[in-house]
Structure formats: structure tokens, C-alpha cells
Amino acid sequence: MSNFWEYTLVETAARYSVVVLCLVLFMAIFEIVTSYNNWEEIKKGNIAVAMATGGKLFGIANIFRFSIEHNDSLTQTMGWGLYGFALLLCGYFIFEFLTPSFKIDEEIANDNRAVGFISLVISIGLSYVIGANII
């Protein structure tokens, strides 16, 4: 009889559980970093916040997709996912730094959809760049 953790269904469930927990944790960190409350703003119908938050969620999930694809162990997957998230977070701060004429958080909180869309595209784009480098 083979090892319990070698069954594909068990391995998939384990990776899925870890990724969902990491998504919750990483989104909580993004919630702390931003000056607005993501879920309250989305509840009010703020499309810019929804786009920015969706981009972050997609970006994190995409990084984990690459990590799962290129790593055999759950520990390696988590490690690369954490590293990828740190790089994505750095990208968020760089985006804020590169726009000194206005504050990204304020524009997104004020439902500036153009800024929300650019934030979404940056998160998704960076996730592909980060993911492509995961070995």
C-alpha cells in the first residue's frame, strides 16, 4: 500500500487548502497595507477597489499556480508562494512610489477606475513575471 500523501486526491486537497489559507493571510496583509477597507468599499460598490483586489487575488493565485507546477513538495510550494507574494507586495509599493503626483490608495478609495484597472494589470502582469522565474 502506498503512502497516504502520495494519492493525487489527497495531494490536491492539501495544496488547495494551503493556497486558500495563504490567500486569506496575504489578503489580510494587503488589507493592513492599504488605507481603505477592501471589503467595505466593495460592499459599497467601489469598482476601482474591486478591480485592484481582484488583481491581487489573481496575482497571488497565479504565483501559486506556477509554484505548484514547478515544485514537488508542499513546503517548496509554500516557500515560493511566500517569496512571490513578497515580490508582489514590493511591486505594489513601487507602483505607489512611481506615481508621486497622486496617492494610489486615495484614488482607488475614491473609485478612480483607471487607477484600479492599472493596479489590476500590474498585479496580474507581475504575477506572470514572478511565476516565470519560479524553478
Q: What is the mean pLDDT of residues 37-43?
A: 94
Distance, CA of 84 to CA of 14 (rounded, Å): 20
Q: What is the mean pLDDT of residues 82-103?
A: 92
* pLDDT value, residue 73: 86
Distance, CA of 40 to CA of 120 (rounded, Å): 18
Residue 135 maps to a domain? no
The per-residue pLDDT of the chain, averaged, comes to 92
Q: What is the mean pLDDT of residues 43-47?
A: 97
Q: What is the mean pLDDT of residues 97-124?
A: 94
Cut 0.95: pTM above it:
no
Residue 65 maps to a domain? yes
Q: Is the CB of residue 14 less than 8 Å from the CB of residue 78?
A: no
Residue 83 maps to a domain? yes
Q: Is 6 exposed, middle or buried (0-12, 13-18, 19+ CB in 10 A)?
A: exposed
Q: Please give the tally of structural domains in the chain.
A: 1
φ, ψ dihedrals at 30, nearest 5°:
-60, -35
Residue 75 maps to a domain? yes
pLDDT tens sequence across 53-80? 999 999 999 999 999 999 878 899 999 9
In this predicted model, which residue has the larger pLDDT, 123 or 11? 123
Residue 113 maps to a domain? yes
Q: Is 117 exposed, middle or buried (0-12, 13-18, 19+ CB in 10 A)?
A: middle
Q: What is the mean pLDDT of residues 80-106?
A: 93
Q: Which DSSP category does 90 fall into?
A: H
pLDDT tens sequence across 1-38? 467 767 888 888 989 999 999 999 999 999 999 999 99
Residue 1 maps to a domain? no
Percent of the chain scoring above 70 in pLDDT:
98
Residues 6 or more apart whose Cβ sits within 8 Å of residue 120: 51, 52, 54, 55, 58
* pLDDT value, residue 2: 64
Residue 27 maps to a domain? yes
Q: Which domain holds residue 117?
A: 6-130
Q: Which alpha helices (DSSP H) does the chain contain, by range? A: 8-33, 38-43, 47-70, 74-97, 104-109, 113-132
Cα angle vertex 53, ends 52, 56, to 5°?
Answer: 90
Residue 87 maps to a domain? yes
